[in-house]
Amino acid sequence: MTTSFNPELDLVVARVIAAPRPAVWNAWTDQASFEKWWVPAPEICRVRDMDLRPGGSLRTEISGDGADFRPHLTGCFLAVEELERIVFTDALVGGWRPAETSFMTAVIAMKDHPDGTEYTATAMHRNSPDRDRHEKLGFHDGWGTVTRQLAELVESS
């Protein structure tokens, strides 16, 4: 299944990362690496579940001090295509069960680029008000920041 970008419903951040695709893929799929970039510093991330298969649970927590953690993302993987694409949604929890509330589906795509890897993260919403709300909540700042953190992590290693 391919998904196409709908500017009225979707938001996207894209960045060329100066590292090969396997390095970017590993930084996404290795829990310890993922925790290093998934939330904007100095906030701290903890992965509770990362069951990388369709129907698998993705659950992260966030903390300001590294002691008290609160829920961050609770979702479900929909597609995991090695070195290519990861799709997850917060409309479902692990095992594909409907979630109490839902906001978005995210599509993470990785492609070869002359300078490394073209990394694209798209957030799909159910309607324009949700898209606009996400934008006002700081989508570009937040997702832009963590994508920069991802790039810095893999470019420095």
Q: Which residues bind a copy of itself (CB under 8 A)?
A: 1, 3-4, 9, 51, 53-56, 78-79, 87, 89, 91-92, 95-100, 102-105, 107, 124-127, 130
Report in angstroms how near the CB of residue 33 gets to a copy of itself at its nearest. Answer: 24
Looking at the Cβ atoms of 97 and 140, the one nearer to a copy of itself is 97
Report in angstroms how near the CB of residue 99 gets to a copy of itself at its nearest. Answer: 6
Under 8 Å CB-to-CB from 48, ≥6 apart: which residues? 59, 60, 61
Looking at the Cβ atoms of 55 and 71, the one nearer to a copy of itself is 55
Rg (CA), the chain: 15
Looking at the Cβ atoms of 54 and 66, the one nearer to a copy of itself is 54
Give the side-chain half-sphere CA count within 13 A for 3: 23
Looking at the Cβ atoms of 66 and 98, the one nearer to a copy of itself is 98
- With both helix axes pointing from N to C terminus, report the angle between 128-136 and 139-156 in degrees, rounded to the nearest 10: 60
Report in angstroms how near the CB of residue 123 gets to a copy of itself at its nearest. Answer: 10
- 43-100-109 Cα angle (round to 5): 55
What phi and psi values does residue 119 have, to the nearest 5 degrees? -110, 125
Report in angstroms how near the CB of residue 109 gets to a copy of itself at its nearest. Answer: 13
Terminal C-alpha separation, the chain: 33
